[in-house]
Amino acid sequence: MKIHSLDIYVVDLPTIRPHHLAMHTIVTQTIVLACIRSEDGVEGWAEVATIGGASYSEESPEAIKFNIEKYIKPLIIGEYARNFDALSYKINLHVKGNYYAKALVEAAVIDLTARTQNIPAYDLFGGKCHSSMPVAWTLASGDTAKDIEEAQRCLAERKHNIFKLKIGKGDPRANVAHVIKIKAAVGNAGSIRVDVNQAWDEATALYCIEALEDGGVDLVEQPLVRWNHEGMARLSSRFKVPIMADESVGTIHEAYQIAKHRAADVFALKIAKAGGLTAVKKTAAIAEASGIPLYGGTMIESSLGTAICAQLYSTIPEMAFGTELFGPLLFKDNVTLNRIEYENFEVKVPEGPGFGMEIDKEKVKHYSREVYIV
């Protein structure tokens, strides 16, 4: 079945509360949607999300849309969707970088292919190993008492027992003290982890990670700027608490170099930063060969993007540090008719053709910056 058309929509979705990162505070999250149609009218849909325009990645939502329409779309029209891996190779030959754009197009082609065959997308990647996976929640009020209360409520309701705190913004010592108080209150009932989002220099990291380790924190994510592999390697070798690479491990080439130099103890997988689902599977293979455990990361996607991540992560045998696929819980509204399900501290892998989600076209029309094409 050949690809007939491709449409891209930039969509702004409101969140239930501010979500603080070192480089940006999310109050409205921008996602980019792709709709690929076959000659027979079957549709494949996909999503990638960005954070703060170009504050997190070099690719802004506007750039993703433009570069797909200008440079990637002509490469795939008239091609067979089932050859999605070959199409990704073709795109890589003609388009450098633009990993978010490539990931979006590849995912839409995969959704179309799976729907044409009436199978879940995970069957195209060898089948699922997990029907559900542990899912983390971010505590982001900034108020210690409120964060403790929220964590205890999540535990009591069996929603989450993994909690992440974003501590890259503000006074590092005060942030560390805040985290340690929360860990003391939660105790062994939950895992407390931190994400620095590249905000520390190495001297700051040495003091802070030592205090976090002594305080019982289970994971420290991306304490140094993404290019500082040597510094990350020094931190990884010095501390018992695992140091996770996120922003620094995107492409398979970066994954290889970090594994080779032991510049992290854990890899955070993200489909967008890797350039697609097939690339993430290759990154996972590099990690497996290197004895590096994995974490299923998020770009704060809505329900569709989360389904894409969940289905792919479900095909990876070992996800030792769980996932962070809480995105849909942060949004006030949804672009799909069905929802991602959460229970017993885990996110359930969606079933059904493609990525298992049905698009709510009225919601896409409502939140899209573009005129919706039926």
For β-strands 219-221 and 132-134, DSSP reports them as unpaired
| Phi, psi (degrees; rounded to nearest 5) at 110 | -65, -40
Residue in 106, 221, 324, 346 annotated catalytic: 324
SS3 338: coil
| Closest by Cα among 28, 37, 30 to 4 | 37
Q: Report whether 272 contacts 98 (CB < 8 A).
A: no
Whole-number Å distance between alpha carbons of 259 and 249: 10
Dump the DSSP string for 183-211.
Answer: HHHHGGGSEEEEE-TT---HHHHHHHHHH
Q: Which of 164, 166, 270, 273 is catalytic?
A: 166
Residue 274 · residue 299 · CB < 8 Å: no
Catalytic annotation present for 324 = yes
Residue 164 designated active-site: no
**Distance between CA atoms of residues 66 and 86, nearest Å:** 23
Q: Which 8-state DSSP code applies to residue 72?
A: I
**Active-site residue set:** 166, 324
